[in-house]
Amino acid sequence: MTASGSSQLILLIEMDDETRPLLQYNLRNQGYKVITAINEEGALERVKDGRAYPNLILINQVSLSIEAYLAMGQRIRDQAGLSRQTPIVVVADRYGTDLEGQDIEVRDREFISYPEDAQQLFDLLHRLCREAS
């Protein structure tokens, strides 16, 4: 296990039952603490009323548009009373080779990742968590 994420808490929203445990495992293996939810409602239950203060919100795009997932992240951040500086990262599901390998900041502290590999995503999370702390 690396120390890159030590003491950093990530709120993971992953709707896919097969992908969720793999993402949790990989994030924990990178040293992150992980709170997991399958949807917006579950995420809010885990962080509302100061139950937890994640350093980053990570959402894996499954079926909705990227904009819908960014809006979900904004609602979670706002309704949970998290700082506006808490980054939101949406991992794109399908994309062309022209986007592969890019991390795009679409609004302040809101990112879309088009990962070429897992290390790219981990590098982005590490950078954003470090900046947020």
The C-alpha atoms of residue 105 and residue 63 are separated, in whole angstroms, by 21
The residues pairing with 89 across neighbouring beta strands, listed in sequence order, are 58, 111
What is the count of structural domains for the chain?
A: 1
What is the pTM (predicted TM-score) of this model?
0.92
32 domain-assigned: yes
Q: What is the pLDDT of residue 51?
A: 83
Within 13 Å, how many C-alpha atoms sit on residue 103's CB side?
18
Residue 39 domain boundaries:
9-132
> Measuring CA to CA, which residue among 83, 101, 84 is closest to residue 92?
101
1 domain-assigned: no
Q: Helices 66-79 and 40-47: crossing angle, nearest 10°?
A: 20
The C-alpha atoms of residue 30 and residue 62 are separated, in whole angstroms, by 23
Assign residue 93 the CATH number of its domain: 3.40.50.2300
Check if the beta carbon of residue 113 is closer than 8 Å to that of residue 120.
yes
109 domain-assigned: yes
What six digits make up the tokens of 59? Answer: 């959402």
The C-alpha atoms of residue 27 and residue 34 are separated, in whole angstroms, by 7
Q: What is the pLDDT of residue 34?
A: 96
Per-residue pLDDT of the chain (133 residues; tens, 9 = 90+): 445 666 899 999 999 899 999 999 999 999 999 999 999 999 999 998 888 899 999 999 988 899 999 999 999 999 999 999 999 999 998 788 888 899 999 999 999 999 999 999 999 999 999 887 6
45 domain-assigned: yes
DSSP 8-state assignment for residue 11: E
